[in-house]
Amino acid sequence: MTASNTNILSRIPSLRSLLVFNAAARHLNQVRAAEELCLTQSALSRQLKSLEEHLGVQLFERGPRGLRFTQEGELLYDFTSRAFALMGEGINRLGITTERHTLVVSVARGFAQRVLAPRLGEFVSAHPQIDLHIDIHRYYADLESSGADISIRLGIGDWDDYHSVKITDDALVPVCAPSIAERIKGREDIPDDIIVLRNREREYLDTWMLHPRVRRIPTEGRMSLSFNDSATLISALESGVGIAVSRSSLVSDALESGSLVRPFEGEIKDGLDYYAVSSRRSRRNAVVSLFMQWLEAKFESSFSAATVRKTAPRSPH
């Protein structure tokens, strides 16, 4: 071992002291952290003090209501949480059984059915020690009272009190079944007997019609069908019921499989994307952090521009 490696190792605190620090950081309460570790409060306090002396920085501010992070403490917790998550993943890959964890993810039905559920098998297989619970909701779950660890939301990422990770790069796109696209192909207009499908909770068609640079989908005097659930709307589209404007992430798999196509060019960026959101305290939970990282990596590779921009073949000239 080189001298430089020896110097680095001498500066790394003991694993025990880092485990004590992580427990205190998760709870921000010395009594609960001590109970978790089966230590007395005074023993835990001594361990934290020893760690601070070893590092030469103050990690917590102590007060009558518990602990508060210093800037250095929050930085260390960010690093140690990821380090413990990485170690846990490595141990799991070696086939060593570890303590079971429950992770609750709250998500709207459309995103759960069309996007999340088909991909969850990979995560569960890689992390068998995590019991993953998916809660379907119509409105955003309150992370402070609902029991959810993570909420998947559509928005612009402006939840100041929470940690959020962007997991889609969305656009509004026209979609229909190939049989409907065949009837539109080569025409300047859309036949009057093609039904326009709408989502009552998200008026994407109105947004589409207000944009000056896309082909219009006329609605006046035309048959229409509306749903309050995007998953049901997309199933109707796949059955050849009509045409609609949808979020690209929700129809990405259908476009890839060919059950849906884009009958003509054009897309609109409305500024909304799907985000995985957690409370700042939950973010420090290694299991929450692990799932958030998986979502970010998995979905970045899933929603390629090539997939969402597939358009029905043009008619030959």
Taking residue 181's Cβ as centre, other Cβ atoms within 10 Å add up to: 20
Strands (E), the chain: 60-63, 66-69, 101-108, 130-137, 150-155, 162-166, 172-176, 195-199, 224-227, 242-247, 273-279
pLDDT at 260 over 80: yes
Q: Which fold has domain 101-168+272-305?
A: D-Maltodextrin-Binding Protein; domain 2 (3.40.190)
pLDDT at 5 over 60: no
What homologous superfamily is domain 172-270 in, according to CATH?
A: Periplasmic binding protein-like II (3.40.190.10)
- Nearest-Å Rg of the Cα atoms of the chain is 25
Q: Which phi and psi angles does 188 have, rounded to 5°?
A: -80, -25
- What is the rounded distance in angstroms from the CA atom of residue 155 to the CA atom of residue 177? 28
The pLDDT tens digits for 238-255 are: 999 999 999 999 999 999
| All CATH 3.40.190.10 domain ranges in the chain, comma separated | 101-168+272-305, 172-270
- Name the average pLDDT for the chain: 85
The pLDDT tens digits for 227-241 are: 999 999 999 999 999
The pLDDT tens digits for 30-41 are: 998 888 888 888
- pTM, two decimals, is 0.65
The pLDDT tens digits for 61-105 are: 998 888 999 999 999 999 898 888 888 777 665 544 457 888 999
| All CATH 1.10.10.10 domain ranges in the chain, comma separated | 3-93
- Distance, C-alpha 124 to centroid of its chain: 15
Least reliable range by pLDDT among 278-282, 295-299, 311-315: 311-315
Question: Per CATH, is 3-93 categorized as 3.40.50.180?
Answer: no
